[in-house]
Amino acid sequence: MSRLVAGPLLLAAVSGVATPAGAAERGVALNIPASRLVDAIVAIGRQGGLNVATTVSGLGAMRTKGVKGRMTIEAAFARLLADTGLVAVRIGPDAFRIERAAPPRPRQPPPASRPVPPPLVSPPLVAEPAPDVIVTAGKQRSPLDLYPGAAAVVWFDTPALRNAGARGTAALVDELPVLTSTSLGPGREKLFLRGIADSSFSGSSQATVGQYLGEVQLNYNAPDPDLSLYDMERVEILEGPQGTLYGAGSLGGVARLIPHQPKPGIWEGSVQAALGATWHGGVGSDVAGVLNIPLWQGAAVRLLGYGSRSPGYIDDVQRGLNDVNDTRKFGARGAFRFEPGDHWSVEVGGAFQSIRNNDAQYTEATGRPLSRATPIAEPSESRFYLAHITVRKLWDDGKELVSSVALVHNQQATIYDASKPTGIPATAAYSLNDALLLTSETRLSRLLPDGTGWVVGAHVTASDDQMLYLIGDDDTLAFLRGVRSYVLDSALFGQTTVEIAPRLQLTVGGRLSAIRLRGFQILPTRDELKLDFVTNDRDTVVFAPGAAMTWRANDAFIGYIRYQRGYRVGGYAVVPFGDGGNVGVTAFRPDTLDVIEGGVRFGTQTSKLTGSIGVSTARWRNIQADLTGPDGPFTANVGDGHVNGLELTANWQARAGINLSGSMFLADSDLDRPARDTVMRCRQSLPNVPAVTARIGADYRKVFPSGRTLTLGLGARYVGRSWVGVGPRLRVPQGNYVQTNALAEYRFGRYKVFVDMRNLFDNKGNRFSVGNLLQTGNLGQRTPLEPRSVRIGIAAGF
């Protein structure tokens, strides 16, 4: 299983500028004063744009004379580590590890030279135990051992994620108990962090988790785009709210995917292909390829293409079809990077992905296992488009300027069987969502070697979201209702970290946002749909403050306490009322979330046991929720609630090559002040918040004298009981299941073969008690665990 790097690491809130190996070899301008060795390592990583890891404790007690001038990274480390008994080892194109120098060995005959294989689809950056120090960059780059909050870094070179690119976000959900999602199907999911879950459906409300690809925000009013995770370096998880730095839509936190960047001066590529089979179901396959093309000096292009077919395993007995719920996904991603010199860089990129679920993935309890009976198919489709440009400038004194612009387009289409609600056979309801998002941000920050610093910036988001509902068949399709919303969110933000006492740092900041919201009801006419102005513009000013303290008792024990406010903008929804099929427009109010959290991180990499403990309490006011009824989804405020959480992570190096890990999230949630029109018969937890979510794993890695490597892994995940939604209609249980996985990988030269097995014991479980959103409250509907499956693949680098 993958290691969740949650203890003393350097974490960035945003992806960093990585200096390609070719640039590092030409020389980097460095200005690192005499200081503690740990601070100098932070500084060399920042100024050189590198990831730096260490397996050595006690760096805070060591001193260094520093380095100054233009030189290669290797030469800089040699000077920095002189007389310390330490050496720097390159573990990736832009990553180093600091370790103790090996003792002299008796002279042996020189081994036969072996070519160094190029990286595979997910190049190995950290193949050894999880590092103590990871240097990246962010809105305010800060060592994780000084970051005052719950956070984690997951590397994609860990055993469970190295070959899981085709699975998308589901692979991350399996590794992080604090991260959960709905189970409507790929491209239709909503993500939740730290139990901040509003509802089980996707509608007009803004997401509670801010998802990013590097600098680019991926979602606003749209579901998780479920990008395939090929050619990724890591994902950074900042638990929320993150209102000061990220603004609206980060109530639960931020999940930032960091892809590998184009590498000037280097030709490299890889291909990967796999076949899979599912018990009680069909056969699937996936393929991916990566190519890095150097152009002129300081410029390169990196391209990724992929496609997959996930097999179905649910039969429709009424239509006489087997394995109807298969999924097809294909996409591409590309980036051009140019480094003109003097620490400037420009990156232009784009992405496209298409997901088609050929049918829904729910079953009915009244029929045989893994089956249902419906008169029509219920397919869904999503398309995702992205274009972005990012400009960066680094200075030797720790300042960084970042300016980015991005355009994101999300399209969703879903068909539901409306035969039962309407009483008309073979009638379908269509839900269409088209969301366009334009974001722009410019910020200036400075980080000092001791972790203090500041960041100031400006951010603008413009969102245009349109939702339509239609009903009928192909010949008599009738418009039901629709709404279109425009949001313009302009913000200024700032944050600073100062040292107020030895080993004690204070962080304060705030974000001032001016939000303009405009809504339209979409009405049918004889020839076309038209916009009917609903209400005057709604202008709102929101301030999101934050404050925190970090205490570093020693290199092996760090404590923190933090307060933060988060918010989401309001909106408009067209909802049904009365019994005559009439609809009306209602406005739902903004919601706010205030969180107080505290915790500790303990251990170093020389310790056998490392881990973290965190507690949090959240007060959520005017909760926005996407609800559903006989006429389809709508959005409303359902009241006030609270979420209390306890997080535990632990990692034990049992012996050489064996690593044991575990993590758990315990949540206590309650809608304790329901809205006046929210009908409740008893107190109820918030939807999709299991009381217990836990994961345990074990990895074994064996390196043979020939250099070949064998990796084995086992893991298990438990998801406790939760509820579909609030109110008697949606008080339907789900969850309470265990899922087990296993993997094996064998690397030889530039090749590897791998085997992944999921749900080893073919356990039965109900992931989600909804299938058709027009029939909520139907206790016979459930989304089963995917049956036992096996996937065998091969990858090669060149």
pLDDT in tens, 288-335: 999 999 998 889 999 999 999 999 999 999 999 999 999 999 999 999
Return the pLDDT at 584: 62
Hey, what's the torsion of the CAs at 120, 125, 130, 136, to 10 degrees? -130
433: closest CA among 361, 380, 473, 487? Answer: 380
C-alpha torsion sign, points 176, 758, 168, 264: positive
Q: What's the mean pLDDT in 738-746?
A: 96
Is the confidence at residue 9, as pLDDT, over 50? Answer: no
131: closest CA among 96, 82, 80, 79? Answer: 96
pLDDT in tens, 53-102: 765 655 665 778 788 877 888 888 888 888 787 888 876 667 787 877 75
More confident residue, 381 or 95: 381
Is the confidence at residue 529, as pLDDT, over 60? Answer: no
638, 671 in Cβ contact below 8 A? yes
74, 88 in Cβ contact below 8 A? yes
Quote the strand ranges of 452-503, DSSP E. Answer: 453-472, 478-501
340: closest CA among 302, 273, 295? Answer: 295
Question: What's the mean per-residue pLDDT of the chain?
Answer: 84
Return the pLDDT at 583: 59
Return the pLDDT at 132: 40
Q: What's the mean pLDDT in 194-200?
A: 89
- DSSP 3-state assignment of 493? strand
Is the confidence at residue 375, as pLDDT, over 60? Answer: yes
- DSSP 3-state assignment of 272? strand
pLDDT in tens, 466-523: 888 888 876 777 877 788 889 999 999 999 999 999 999 999 999 999 999 888 877 7
Neighbours of 137 (CB within 10 A): 23
Q: pTM score, two decimals? A: 0.83
Most confident of 280-294, 573-587, 767-781: 280-294
47, 32 in Cβ contact below 8 A? yes
Q: Is 340 exposed, middle or buried (0-12, 13-18, 19+ CB in 10 A)?
A: exposed
Q: Is 408 exposed, middle or buried (0-12, 13-18, 19+ CB in 10 A)?
A: buried
Query: What are 788's two structure tokens?
Result: 């036992």
Hey, what's the torsion of the CAs at 552, 555, 556, 557, to 10 degrees? 0
Neighbours of 369 (CB within 10 A): 12
Read off φ and ψ for residue 786, nearest 5 degrees: -60, 130
Is the confidence at residue 586, as pLDDT, over 80? Answer: no
Cα–Cα distance, 565 to 547 (Å, whole number): 10
- DSSP 3-state assignment of 41? helix
More confident residue, 218 or 139: 218
Cα–Cα distance, 115 to 749 (Å, whole number): 8
Q: Is 102 exposed, middle or buried (0-12, 13-18, 19+ CB in 10 A)?
A: exposed
Cα–Cα distance, 427 to 415 (Å, whole number): 10
Is the confidence at residue 127, as pLDDT, over 60? Answer: no
Tokens 């206790």 label which residue? 779
Query: What are 443's two structure tokens?
Result: 């910020």
Return the pLDDT at 589: 87
By mean pLDDT, which of 177-181, 603-607, 705-709 is the weakest?
603-607
pLDDT band for position 114 (cuts 50, 70, 90): very low
Cα–Cα distance, 175 to 153 (Å, whole number): 11
